[in-house]
Amino acid sequence: MAFIKSIDISQFRGIQQLTISDLSSINIIVGDNNSGKTTFLEAIQLLFAKPHLSAIRSIINQRTLLNPDKGFYTSFIKMFNIEEKNNLEFSIHADSNNGPIKFKVKGYETTVSGEEAVQKARLSRSYGFAVGKILDYIPETAKMFNGDIFSQIGDIQKKGSISCTSMDRTVRFPGISSKELNYISSFGHLRFDLLKNIVDNPEYKKLAIDILRQFDNSIADICYTKADDGSYMESIITNNGVNMPFSVYGDGIKKILYILNKLFDATDSILMIDEIETGLHKKYYDTLFPVIFALANKLNVQLFIATHSIEAIDAILRYGDYEDTDNNDPIRVITLKKIESDNGSNIAARNVTGKYVYDNRKVFEFEVRL
């Protein structure tokens, strides 16, 4: 497992330079809107990305959920925090218990003819057919990026050459390695297979059902059932034997199962949870969060949790059990803030222990989110 101890981000999106040290097993990422929380999570994802454009595309798609193949080139160029487009570069470096982890993209942007861009565009394997389907006309000029991607995990270093144009719509290569990192988006529970790691593991299944009964005590079982059309659907069986498809239940139950599945996938690796509060009522935090954190500890998972909710922050801090002074503090609270200056904008970070925030919240009603 690559347990991240510190991270250094340079010229990536809204970050000119940001260094965060003393990361822990549970890291809460907080801050105002547009403070860099999502950018920070993306930087961690890129650390474990393969040196292909698709690794970047998969991260861009998290921000462009409704139109994942639209505007790839513009979104890609905006990942660089630099005005001089003849010299584009961003880099991310982390120290881990398994050695250094690095990811860097550098290159340059030029203007080419529309015809040349069409010839270079990575539209699909049958690119000529795709051009005819997608493009109504060929512009007189277009933009092109040429450069390299460098990656390193421990002693393994890789390098790949990349090229893309403003005519590109999609890139087909392997993306991020699921062995090293898993990511939970705000609304991933709406489209993820919620039972794949649960139904064949009796111990895990019992844990899931016990948690779900906090939401609805009529739940007796969770399983796949066969629909009339022969397909299989995720279902809940009630105490009186009624078969209920997941579609009739609210987001809370789906979010719980989504997190449990991803925790299982993230065994001996890293799990990032964006907006952990989405779909969950605050009255369940004190029941759910201790289970998540205890399970993460059991499965050897390092957590990075982004949240807007002060109630979620307080519930996570209660897990630290700071009334017992002999406990080791498992939590770091990283507050990000956008700073404007004559040299442009940057992201600054305050990194403190969970105990510090807990004590100051209790005595001074400390506003950790700024």
Least confident of 157-161, 228-232, 323-327, 328-332: 323-327
Residue 14, both tokens: 């809204």
Cα 234 to Cα 344: distance, rounded to the nearest angstrom: 50
pLDDT exceeds cutoff 70 at 332: yes
Domain ranges, ordered by start, for the chain: 49-176, 184-364
pLDDT at 121: 67
**Contact by Cβ (8 Å): 96, 21:** no
DSSP state of 80: B
* Model pLDDT, residue 222: 93
Lowest-pLDDT range, 121-130, 275-284, 314-323?
A: 121-130
Comparing CA positions, the residue from 311, 260, 304, 310 lying closest to residue 285 is 311
- Position 124 scores a pLDDT of 42
Q: What pLDDT digit, counting tens, does each position of 84-99 carry? A: 667 899 999 999 998 9
pLDDT, one tens digit per residue, over 266-316 is 999 999 999 999 888 898 899 899 999 999 999 999 999 999 899 999 999
Does the pLDDT at position 100 exceed 80?
A: yes
Lowest mean pLDDT among 59-63, 156-160, 290-294, 305-309: 59-63
Element (H, E) at 271: strand 270-274
Residues 123 and 164: their CA atoms lie apart, in Å, by: 10
Share of the chain above pLDDT 70, in %: 87
Instruction: Give the C-alpha separation, 72 to 120, whole Å.
Output: 15
Greater confidence (68 vs 312) lies with 312
- With CA atoms as reference, report the closest residue to 72 among 14, 122, 132: 122
Amino acid at 264: F
Residues in the chain: 370
Task: Count CA within 13 A, CB hemisphere, residue 222.
Answer: 28
What is residue 135's predicted lDDT score, i.e. its pLDDT? Answer: 57
349 close to 336: Cβ distance less than 8 angstroms: yes
Q: What is the mean pLDDT of residues 26-52?
A: 92
CATH code given to domain 184-364: 3.40.50.300
Phi, then psi, of 224 in degrees rounded to 5: -90, 135
HSE on the CB side for 271, CA within 13 Å?
26
